[in-house]
Amino acid sequence: MKIIMLGAPGAGKGTQAKMIAEKYGIPHVSTGDIFRANIKNGTELGMEAKKYMDQGLLVPDELTVKILLDRVAQEDCGKGYVLDGFPRTIPQAEVLEEALNKLGEKIDFAVNVDVPDENIVRRMSGRRACLKCGATYHVEHIPPKKEDVCDTCGSELVLRDDDKPETVSNRLKVYHEQTQPLIDFYTARGILKTVDGTLDMKDVFASITDILG
C-alpha cells in the first residue's frame, strides 16, 4: 500500500502519517529525513543535494525523486510506505508518477487532511515552546500549569516565529498556490480521499483507516 499525505502546514498530516505507518507496518517516509540521512551518510545523492542546500537553493525535482526512489527501493518498503512532504507541486507529482510507472508501480491513495485556514492559524498561533528543554504546549489544548511557564524546567514559553499568524498565513498562501493543485491531480487519477482534519486526532485516524481498510 503506497500512500501520499496531503494537507496544509499544521493540518496534522505528519502525525497521521506516523500513526498509519505504525498500524500498517510500513515506513513513514519524510523527504526531510531522507535528505538528512543521505547527507549524514555521505552518499553520492546526499552530497549532490547538499551542493544545492548549501547555496540556499531548492533541490531539483529529479534529484529529490532519485533520493526518494532510492529510499523506497529498500527492503522495509516492500509492503508499501507513507510519503510525507512530497510531492509538493504538480511537476514533482509528474516526475514521481513517471518514475513509478517505469517500475510498474503506482500510488494507491492520496489522503488529503482538510482543515480550513482559519483553524490552522488558530491552531498554530496557540502553540508555545520552551527553548531551553524543547517542551511544547498549546494555550487551548495542552496549556502549561502556569501561563507562559514551562512545567518541566520553569523557563519562559515563547511563540516561535514559524507559528506567528502572519508567518502561518504566508505559508498557507504558498500551499494554496503550489500544493492545492495536487488535489485536482490525484482526483483525476481517482485515488484522492479527503478526511475532515478538524476532528479529534483519533477520529481523523479512524476516518483514514476506514478508507485504507
Q: Give the catalytic positions in this structure.
A: 13, 88, 127, 160, 171
Nine-digit cell at 183? 488535489
Distance CA 161, CA 142 (A): 20
Distance CA 87, CA 72 (A): 14
Instruction: Establish how many alpha carbons lie within 13 A of residue 142's alpha carbon, considering only the half-sphere containing its beta carbon.
Output: 12
Distance CA 36, CA 54 (A): 13
Task: Please say whether the dihedral angle defined by the alpha carbons of residues 114, 115, 116 and 121, taken in this order, is positive or negative.
Answer: negative
Distance CA 138, CA 128 (A): 6
Nine-digit cell at 138? 498549546
Distance CA 165, CA 157 (A): 17
